[in-house]
Structure 1
Amino acid sequence: MEIRIDHRTCIGSGQCTLTAPAVFTQDDDGYATLVPGGARTTAPRQVTQAALSCPVQAITVGNDPPEA
Structure 2
Amino acid sequence: MITRRFNEPRGLSEETPFYGLYVRLSGESRELFRKAHEIAAKRLGATPSNPILLDELLKAYLREAGNG
Query: Normalising by the residue count of structure 2, what TM-score does the alignment of the two structures yield?
Result: 0.27
Rg larger for = 2
Q: Which has the higher helix share?
A: 2
Q: Which has the higher strand share?
A: 1
Query: Normalising by the residue count of structure 1, what TM-score does the alignment of the two structures yield?
Result: 0.27
